[in-house]
Amino acid sequence: MSDKGRKWKGLTFKEKRKFYLGGTIVFFLLICFTFLMTPSPLVSDLTNISLTLTREPSFKKQSLPASSYWVELYTDKGKYVINGIDYKYIRHKNFKRLVKKRN
């Protein structure tokens, strides 16, 4: 009987390891390809926006099962919310110093 006709339980550890190794390599290549193809914005792609605040920025926190934080900015054009990963990387001292309501 040939090796191709044997069932999974009948294979040795070395034979099974070839299948696991092949699957691991395919999975690793897929992850690498996905990482390389994920677009990331360049600094030149970003734009600066100047807004006049109608109120002071309001820092909020919600403590349900998990805490979430955000800041609300109120302008003549509407309300802007900075939350999630954007809020996580704000330098709070600089933000509070630079973003204020104009009199």
Does the pLDDT at position 5 exceed 80? no
pLDDT of the residue at 62: 85
Which percentage of the chain shows pLDDT scores above 70?
94
Q: List, in sequence order, every residue forming a beta bridge with 59; answer none if it has no partner.
A: 71
Q: What is the mean pLDDT of the chain?
A: 85
- pLDDT digits 0-9 by tens, 6-42: 788 888 888 889 889 999 999 999 999 998 888 887 8
**pLDDT (average), residues 54-60:** 87
By residue count, the chain amounts to 103
Q: Is residue 43 within 8 Å of residue 51, measured between CB atoms?
A: no
> Are 70 and 82 in contact, with CB atoms under 8 Å apart?
yes
Number of H helices, E strands in the chain: 3, 3
